[in-house]
Amino acid sequence: PWSFTAGSKKHNPRKIHNDSPVLTDLKYYNEDMHQAAFCLPQYVQEIIR
């Protein structure tokens, strides 16, 4: 098993900064993929409710 945790009191980790030169000319990663990385499966949503 693995996990990834991100948190910030200043920056929203769900917001992608399109002005970053690192994010230009990517073939796989885009804003939709970034948002999807923060989605929880249905069974996890039900557990935490």
For the segment 20-43, the average pLDDT, to the nearest whole number, is 86
Phi/psi for 25 (5° steps) reads 60, 40
pLDDT confidence band for 45 (50 / 70 / 90)? very high
Predicted model pTM: 0.57
pLDDT on residue 47? 96
**Angular region, 25: left φ>0, alpha ψ -120 to 50, beta rest:** left
Pick the closest to residue 34 from 20, 12, 14, 9 (CA basis): 14
State yes or no: pLDDT of 48 exceeds 90.
yes
